[in-house]
Structures are given as C-alpha cells and as structure tokens.
Amino acid sequence: FTVIHEFSSYLLHLLLLAELFVRSSSRPTPSTPLCGTFRSMIHHVDKLMNLSRKLHDLTEDEVKHFGDVHHRLDSLPEIHHTSADIRLLQVNESLSQLYAHTQSFKLHIDWLKTARENVSASSQSIEGASSHLQGLSDFLKASLQHMGEEAPQSTPPSLPVVSSAFDALIFSMEMSNRLQVFCDWSKRVLHHIKKQLFTLTVPATR
C-alpha cells in the first residue's frame, strides 16, 4: 500500500508539473472570427491581380504600342493612399472603404463584361474578375456586420456607351490598370487590418 501511495504522489507531481509547463510555454492565438476570413479575402485579391492583367487579351509588347491610356472612367474610385495613410486607418474605417471600392469595381467590371459581349469580344477573364470581386465583397460585408457596422450603399455610376470593339479594348486596358492599383492597395490594407486584429487579440508575453 505504501508503494502504491508513493507512486500515486509521484504521478500527481508529474501531472502538475506538466500542466504548469503547458500553461507557461503555450502562446494564445487570435480568437476573433474576423481573423479567419483574411486568408480568403487575400486569396480573392491575389486572383484578381492575376486576372486584371488579362482583361484586354493583349501581350506586353502589344500594350506598349498604345502608350499611356487616358482615364475616361471618372466614376471609378481614385486610390492615392500611401503606406503612411494606411497605417492611420482604423479597422472599421478600412473595411468600409474597401467594401465601397470593391462594390464600385464590381459594377464597372459587370458593365465592361456586357460591353465586350455586345461587340463580340471575349469576356472570360472579366467573368473571373467579377466572381472574385463578389467573393471579396461578401467577406467584407460579413466582417462589417460582425463588427456591428452597416455596409455602405453603392450608387449605380453613369457609364459611357461602348459602340465598337476598339472602345471596348481601350476601356479594358484602363480597367486593367486601375484594378491592379486597387488590388495592390487592398492587399496592403488587409494585411494592415490583420496585424491590428492580431495585436488586439494576442496579449504581450510576460
């Protein structure tokens, strides 16, 4: 009986030491559901970036022949945010702005898809871009709702009539350039928000 008692005490001490070791060495991980959506949102942005380069179906050499494409889509959001500007953004403000920009690009991409189809131009890459914009928009809206914020309403823009395949090509080139800028900005904003959330949910180690 004495041997069994001594063995039980020894085992109990081992279990207590193991529990203390686990508690002292384990690091807490972010618990907020928002953190789990960022991989998916960044995935959509990465896919958008790849598709944005294919909207006009031209090679790099062919694009150079056109020179600089003038901005004719004034209803697209202008994005001039520097890294310093992004660091000052708050989480809810960033998500609202990103959602509004995403909705705007979705409306323009859908318009371009219809315009290209009307002049018998390919729209496969545009369909893919529209799908990923919708996916990104859905995640952003759900994130805002999770935070108790209302998603900003979008006003349908006034868009030009596309009467020729050449017009459709020029607008496709502009959309390609503008969408690439949007994707670069969006990815930096998402990484900034993710970092903010991680900092808020993971306490400093002692």
59 in a structural domain: yes
Q: What is the pLDDT of residues 33-76, one digit of tens each?
A: 566 788 899 999 999 999 999 998 887 777 777 767 777 899 99
**Full domain range(s) for residue 67:** 2-201
Contact in structure between 75 and 106 (CB atoms under 8 Å):
no
pTM assigned to the model: 0.78
* Total structural domains within the chain: 1
> What residue type is 108 in one-letter code?
H
152 in a structural domain: yes
- In this prediction, what percent of the chain has a pLDDT beyond 90? 43
Q: The domain spanning residue 32 has which CATH number? A: 1.20.1250.10
CB under 8 Å to 11, separation ≥6 — which residues?
none
206 in a structural domain: no
Contact in structure between 89 and 192 (CB atoms under 8 Å):
yes
